[in-house]
Amino acid sequence: MERERKIQILKDIVNIDSTNGHEEQVANYLQKLFAEYGIESEKVQYDVDRASLVSEIGSNDGKVLAFSGHMDVVDAGDVSKWKFPPFEATEHEGKIYGRGATDMKSGLAAMVIAMIELHEEKQKLNGKIKLLATVGEEVGELGAEQLTQKGYADDLDGLIIGEPSGHRIVYAHKGSINYTVKSTGKNAHSSMPEFGVNAIDNLLLFYNEVEKFVKSIDATNEILGDFIHNVTVIDGGNQVNSIPEKAQLQGNIRSIPEMDNETVKQVLVKIINKLNKQENVNLELIFDYDKQPVFSDKNSDLVNVAKRVASDIVKEEIPLLGISGTTDAAEFTKAKKAFPVIIFGPGNETPHQVNENVSVENYLEMVDVYKRIAIEFL
């Protein structure tokens, strides 16, 4: 495929506003692109205007390697702060700017083009490459969960998630828990607080207890680092001279095997139960999102092949590491059999930021990297 066509494909899908939904428009574009080259694909409907895409090339004899990328993007934020409009992909000084350029439409586009080129070259594959393009990764890994439950990951022998990693290969990442605590009190005039119950005060009881718990943790992981907890959203009250009847907070946890999801959840439940025994305290705990840490074998065939191929193509040593962010791998690894996973894709440190961008050369080189990894792994 010509260089300019590859660049235009990325621009085209960045131009599709798939913020927290509307991924089916991206799926339709990729399905049509595959069809131009005689490659079949299947949409897996998740909701209205939301569909994941599954496509395969190769043979049924041999191993199965999956390429996976998500089609949704996060909100562009204050558009006035962007150098270029976030959904009008712009090439400037060797980079493509736009929401999703690095997280992770460049990785997804590179994978799709790699499959098309291998198919066009009639490359004999000792097995199959399967694309799993997902919906809703940014809001709960919804598409990966659906595809895994439907069995699309049950035959995998290896998985590459094309999240932005630059010239690094990730083989492990932390788990993630999102939770909400709701506090119910009683309204009263602020001049007569004795007739009310302050929902914010009671919410802060939880906040202080959970902060004490977090400070008591000394667990760490040599690959992933420390356990992380942050309260990130607080909301309460509706009028300055009224005792608030409602308040809530949301927290995010990045877990490690030494302080795993189940242990943390049990501690939060105990804190809530203890506080609710106090007079006039009424707290409710809801777990919104619960994703396990992912640990793959850093000496797996997939890691070794990817490291060797990438080092040869980019002429750099490729380090192996773990990260704090979670990915669709947290769902795909729930499939019926175990398989090695790497997170390896074009991109940089601009995901979710104003002026998100990707290096054109990094994007294009990953097409060749993916092709060579697939051939050698299979």
d(CA 333, CA 341): 8
Residue count of the chain, please give it: 378
How far, in Å, CA of 96 to CA of 101, rounded? 7
User: 366 with 107: CB under 8 angstroms?
Assistant: yes
Amino acid at 231: V
> CA–CA separation, 154 vs 175, rounded Å?
22
Task: Give the pair of three-digit tokens for residue 197.
Answer: 């119950």
Tell me the residue ranges of DSSP E strands in the chain: 41-47, 50-58, 63-70, 90-92, 95-97, 127-134, 158-161, 169-173, 175-184, 188-189, 220-221, 225-226, 228-236, 242-243, 246-255, 283-291, 294-295, 320-323, 341-343, 357-359
DSSP letter, residue 137: G
Active site residues: 72, 137
Beta-carbon neighbour count of residue 163 at 10 Å?
A: 28
Neighbours of 304 (CB within 10 A): 15
Q: Please state, in angstroms and rounded to a whole number, the distance separating the CA atoms of residues 9 and 287.
A: 39
- For 259, residues 6+ apart whose C-beta sits below 8 A from its C-beta are 217, 219, 227
Tell me which amino acid residue 139 is. V
The separation between the first and the last C-alpha atoms of the chain, rounded to the nearest angstrom, is 23
CB 268 within 8 A of CB 210: yes
Give me 227's structure tokens: 């356990």
Q: How far apart are CA 73 and CA 107, in angstroms?
A: 13
Largest CA distance in the chain: 80
